[in-house]
């Protein structure tokens, strides 16, 4: 965890709340859910660990097909800006005056793009006039957010479009976001209103925390880069520390979430018998996505496996579709489940535990070590891609194995 005083607010919160705001908390909670399920105490799910080897075979085969040399990048938002071998962000970021300026812009882009990267729904598409590309789901959301960013849609300074300003975020409304994401009656984007609200709350939070976000010109999410750079000891920054900073920075932007001792807990829910169940999916996705900007700026990110796997529907769907996770109710997969339900929260927590357990099996099949192939590569190569592949084999729309009712700010 962050040492006392490392973050202005984290150092003052109660210990029970602090204990839920870390990757260690996610992993500990997931292991508790796994142990309970192994012993038959999980009311909604059971484990068939005999299927885990076949699942690892499937993931390893996907990795070899996608990356024959096993040169797998980290799981990060930057992968979704690459289409047909063309890196659209790299093209836009060719000429920067210095590494720090580029890193702030990349923090800006990664933060807003990840926070907007919740389930789009099966019907929504984004068409890019510049390339002729049409993309859906996570890649479509990435492309839409990138193009809006490039046009200065998040900037309050016309002469400096490649930035995100608190003042502009607070003025961004549903109509503005709808236009940027090409939403129409025929091209519905799930959770549009919730996404717009999230951007407004992000802007308010950035404006309210000058200790984390203020730069000389104006408060912006990219100011967090300077804070993390200052926290690096000897040029090294542990990945779990990045996450804890993000949870402190952005916890209050999530609406209708649990609060403990006055502290917003973000992507944290409860399960009967296990209590608080932290998952922090989008925040960890963002932590993974900030590694490359930090390293491009000359910092070294350590302890990357201190982060956990991501509790979302591609990884979780993989284990359901491969028969590793089995619902106790035969018709549960035909029903719709609220994202806060016991069924979904347990599934997500078990997904985190299973990702830790499948990673060494995948590495063994590939002949690589944990140092060569951290969890961030297993995810990218990897379980996320395998979850998408098996979903397409089983369902025409390639969606998750059951319907999840969400507000567009979880997955």
Helix orientation angle between 99-115 and 192-208, rounded to the nearest 10 degrees? 140
What whole-number distance in Å separates Cα of residue 139 and Cα of residue 142? 5
- 84 φ, ψ (degrees, to nearest 5): 60, 35
For residue 348, what are its two tokens? 């997500």
Output the pLDDT for position 12.
65
Output the pLDDT for position 127.
97
What whole-number distance in Å separates Cα of residue 359 and Cα of residue 346? 20
Name the DSSP class of 184. B
Residue 1, CA distances (Å) to 15, 29, 264, 270 in order: 11, 16, 17, 22
Helix orientation angle between 23-38 and 342-366, rounded to the nearest 10 degrees? 100
Could you tell me if 359 and 371 are in contact, meaning their C-beta atoms sit under 8 angstroms apart? no
What whole-number distance in Å separates Cα of residue 338 and Cα of residue 230? 41
* Conformation bin of residue 119: beta by default, left when phi > 0, alpha when psi is -120 to 50: beta
Q: What is the chain's length?
A: 411
Burial of 134 (0-12, 13-18, 19+ CB in 10 A): exposed
Name the DSSP class of 71. -
Structural domain contains residue 411: no
What would the 3-class secondary structure string for 16-79 be? HHHCCCCHHHHHHHHHHHHHHHHCCCCCCEEECHHHHHHHHHHHHHHHHHHCCCCCCCCCCHHH
Rg (CA), the chain: 20
pTM of the model: 0.93
Q: Report the chain's terminal Cα–Cα distance, integer Å.
A: 25
Identify the H or E element spanning 225. Answer: helix 223-231
Structural domain contains residue 2: no
Our count of domains for the chain comes to 1
Residue ranges of the alpha helices (H) in 47-98? 52-66, 88-92
Structural domain contains residue 5: no
Cβ-based neighbours of 229, under 8 Å, separated by 6 or more = 100, 294, 297, 299
Structural domain contains residue 229: yes
Burial of 368 (0-12, 13-18, 19+ CB in 10 A): middle
Could you tell me if 321 and 354 are in contact, meaning their C-beta atoms sit under 8 angstroms apart? no
For residue 189, what are its two tokens? 């984007």
Output the pLDDT for position 411.
67
Strands 82-83 and 86-87 turn out to be antiparallel
Structural domain contains residue 88: yes
Output the pLDDT for position 217.
65
Structural domain contains residue 204: yes
For residue 354, what are its two tokens? 């299973």
Residue ranges of the alpha helices (H) in 232-305? 239-250, 281-296
Structural domain contains residue 4: no
Cβ-based neighbours of 99, under 8 Å, separated by 6 or more = 296, 297, 298
Q: What is residue 160's three-state secondary structure?
A: coil
Output the pLDDT for position 3.
41
What whole-number distance in Å separates Cα of residue 354 and Cα of residue 334? 23
pLDDT (tens, 9 = 90+) of the chain, 411 residues, equals 334 334 444 456 789 999 999 999 999 999 999 999 999 999 999 999 999 999 999 999 999 999 999 999 999 999 999 998 899 999 888 888 899 999 999 999 999 999 998 778 888 999 999 999 999 988 999 999 999 999 999 999 989 999 999 999 999 999 999 999 999 999 999 889 989 999 999 999 999 998 889 776 689 999 999 999 998 888 899 999 999 999 999 989 998 899 999 999 999 999 999 999 999 999 999 999 999 999 999 999 999 999 999 999 999 999 999 999 999 998 999 999 999 999 999 999 999 999 999 999 999 999 999 999 999 999 999 999 999 999 999 999 888 999 998 776 776
What whole-number distance in Å separates Cα of residue 364 and Cα of residue 298? 32
Structural domain contains residue 410: no
Percent of all residues in the chain with a pLDDT value above 90, rounded to a whole number: 83
CA-based max dimension of the chain: 61
What's the domain range around 169? 10-405
């Amino acid at each position: 965890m962050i040492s006392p005083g490392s973050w202005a607010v984290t150092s003052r919160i109660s210990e029970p709340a602090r204990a839920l705001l870390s990757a260690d908390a996610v992993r500990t909670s997931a292991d508790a859910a796994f142990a309970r399920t192994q012993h038959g105490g999980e009311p909604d799910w059971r484990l068939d660990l005999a299927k885990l080897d076949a699942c690892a075979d499937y993931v390893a085969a996907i990795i070899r097909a996608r990356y024959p040399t096993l040169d797998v990048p980290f799981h990060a938002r930057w992968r979704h800006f690459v289409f047909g071998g063309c890196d659209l962000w790299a093209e836009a970021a060719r000429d920067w005056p210095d590494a720090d300026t580029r890193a702030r812009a990349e923090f800006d882009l990664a933060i807003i793009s990840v926070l907007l990267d919740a389930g789009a729904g099966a019907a929504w598409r984004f068409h890019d006039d510049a390339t002729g590309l049409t993309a859906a789901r996570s890649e479509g959301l990435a492309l839409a957010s990138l193009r809006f960013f490039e046009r200065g849609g998040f900037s309050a300074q016309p002469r400096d479009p490649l930035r995100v300003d608190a003042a502009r975020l607070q003025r961004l409304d549903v109509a503005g976001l709808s236009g940027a994401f090409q939403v129409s009656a025929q091209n519905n984007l799930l959770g549009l209103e919730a996404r717009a609200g999230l951007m407004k709350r992000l802007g308010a939070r950035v404006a309210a925390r000058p200790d984390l976000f203020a730069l000389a010109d104006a408060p912006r999410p990219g100011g967090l880069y300077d804070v993390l750079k200052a926290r690096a000891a000897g040029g090294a920054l542990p990945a779990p520390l990045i996450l804890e900073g993000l949870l402190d920075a952005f916890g209050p932007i999530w609406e209708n979430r649990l609060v403990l001792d006055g502290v917003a807990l973000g992507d944290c829910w409860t399960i009967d018998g296990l209590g608080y169940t932290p998952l922090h999916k989008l925040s960890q996705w963002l932590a993974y996505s900030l590694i490359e900007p930090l390293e491009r700026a000359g910092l070294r990110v350590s302890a990357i496996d201190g982060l956990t796997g991501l509790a979302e529907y591609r990884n979780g769907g993989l284990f359901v579709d491969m028969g590793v996770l089995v619902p106790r109710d035969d018709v549960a997969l035909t029903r719709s489940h609220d994202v806060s339900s016991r069924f979904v929260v347990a599934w997500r927590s078990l997904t985190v535990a299973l990702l830790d357990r499948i990673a060494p099996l995948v590495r063994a099949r590939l002949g690589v070590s944990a140092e060569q192939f951290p969890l961030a590569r297993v995810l990218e190569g990897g379980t996320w891609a395998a979850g998408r592949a098996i979903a397409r084999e089983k369902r025409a729309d390639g969606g998750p194995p059951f319907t999840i009712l969400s507000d567009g700010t979880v997955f």
